[in-house]
Amino acid sequence: MKKFLTIVIILLLAVIITVFTINKKDKEDNNLTQITLAEVAHTIFYAPQYLAINNGYFEEEGLKINLILTSGADAVMSAVLSGDADIGFSGTEATIYVYNGGEKDYIKTFAGLTQKDGSFLVSRKKYDNFTLEDLKGKTIIGGRIGGMPEMTFEWALRQNNIDPKKDVNIDTSIAFSAMEGAFIGGTGDFVTLFEPNALSVEKNGYGYVVAYIGELGGNVPYTAYNARTSYIENNKDIIKKFTKAINKGLEFVKNNSEEKIAECIIDFFPDTSMNDLIKIVKRYKEGNAWKENITINNEEFKHIQDIMKASNELDNYVEYDKLIFNEFFKDYE
């Protein structure tokens, strides 16, 4: 009987402790400002963001991030404009499209995360000394027309005297999420893939990574944080705190090893092994994919418009001050 009572008491204490812990956490969460963040894709390319979430940098600033996946920059813009998301995370080109479309409460970018294209060129055939000349006459599965991955790839080709309309066949008909499967299924000679998809194709014997497109396309505000003009003006304290948390994530990846970074983000990629995660982080670190800090300069903003213009996706350039909110950049320069 005594043994039974002891067990009952232990179970009751366990329940009380659990309830107390949950209530304590609920109270802590209630003290945080809830922010819905819409990300354009879920990829290891965005490691500094996941670090900032996992390491508690947002909580340190009094923010609670509710991360939602809205695949594609168009979907991110829709979520931000409708108010379904407070902050968007997408290519800067999307904000330019919105502005040029005449939206009154247009979307501004206030912090950068990546400074290069995050995709890798994967070949079906093994090359000992690959050059972009090897692409001539071949079919490449690219991204959607008007998206940064596709436009950056076309820019890289032009910079190497390859006409993307005449010298190669770029298939833009396949959805971003279906590109890996299409290539594995036999479509195309090459495909452009983000990680962990590129390594997965390579590991499973379906192809070989032959180039990092980010290295070929130059520095641009590739993926960055944005919000409606009215939201930024009315919530400058939140924007300041958000940028501070993201900058801590960028500092972490700059100052820590691939192994340490992988440990901090593995919960976001449960289907990727630790060894693979380390390899991918190393690829992006060596490729200088992540920004030194959250600031975006005029040269980078112009370059992204040069790329858009070359792909016939931009009629008129937009001034830096119109779409880049830089009030807090001075804190990191």
pLDDT of residue 6: 56
25: in domain: no
Q: How confident is the model at residue 98 (pLDDT cuts 50, 70, 90)?
A: very high
Tens digits of residue pLDDT in 102-122: 999 999 999 999 999 999 999
- Tell me, rounded to whole angstroms, the distance of Cα 94 from its chain centroid: 14
Regarding whether 208 and 86 lie in a shared domain, the answer is no
What pLDDT, on a 0 to 100 scale, did the predictor assign at position 5?
Answer: 53
Question: Which residues span the domain enclosing 129?
Answer: 120-217
Domains contained in the chain, number: 2
Question: Is there a contact between 202 and 122 (Cβ–Cβ < 8 Å)?
Answer: yes
pTM of the model: 0.87
CATH number at residue 210: 3.40.190.10
Task: Please choose, from the candidates 39, 41, 40, 55, the residue with its C-alpha nearest in 3D space to the C-alpha of residue 255.
Answer: 55
Residue 121 or 1, more confident: 121
Across the chain, mean pLDDT equals: 91
On the question of pLDDT at 245 being above 70, the answer is yes
Q: Is the pLDDT of residue 11 over 70?
A: no
pLDDT at 116: 94
pLDDT, residue 176, reads 85
Kindly state the tokens that stand for 178. 């279906």
> Could you tell me if 303 and 263 lie in one domain?
yes
Residues 301-326: what's their mean pLDDT? 95
Q: What is the pLDDT of residue 30?
A: 72
Alpha-carbon distance values, 269 to 73, 193, 278 (Å): 21, 17, 12
Residue by residue, DSSP assigns 266-320 as GGG-TTS-HHHHHHHHHHHHHTT-B-SSS---HHHHHHHHHHHHHTT--SS---H
Do residue 207 and residue 65 come from a single domain?
Answer: no
Domain end call among 217, 250, 271:
217
Instruction: Fill in the DSSP letter of residue 159.
Output: H
Among the candidates 217, 237, 259, a domain finishes at 217
Mean pLDDT score, 176-197: 94
Check residue 26 and give its pLDDT: 47
